[in-house]
Structure 1
């Protein structure tokens, strides 16, 4: 995998929400868990960098299904 491919495989929660047509809050709650539930993403599919959540395309696809066609 090239460096460009690596960069394209990771996105912010806001970008992921836009690309998948989800609310930003829905994606962030999949990172943090909700009402005592564990996070929906698996280890290695997401991480927090400062105040920004980073998510892999693979994680989004596993949790929310394939990215909708544009």
Structure 2
């Protein structure tokens, strides 16, 4: 079950900006390379993409502590 209060869970736009990428980075990566995201690290709710810290670290290779 996903804990929506988890600070490791963020919108795609928020995660993109936090990792220093363009606002639509996560959306573009997910559209082009959905298999790059580990299973359970990204999910679409309606039109909103939600991604975990672990998913972003895996895709970008940058740990959240390094930001």
TM-score, normalising length: structure 1: 0.73
**Partner SS state of residue 24, structure 2:** helix
Runs (4+) of structure 1 moved beyond 6 Å? Answer: none
The structure 2 residue matched to 1:58, chosen from 50, 54, 58, is: 54
Q: Number of residues paired by the alignment?
A: 62
TM-score, normalising length: structure 2: 0.76
Please, what is the CA RMSD of the aligned residues? 1.9
Gaps of 5+ in 1: none
Structure exhibiting the larger radius of gyration computed from Cα positions? 1
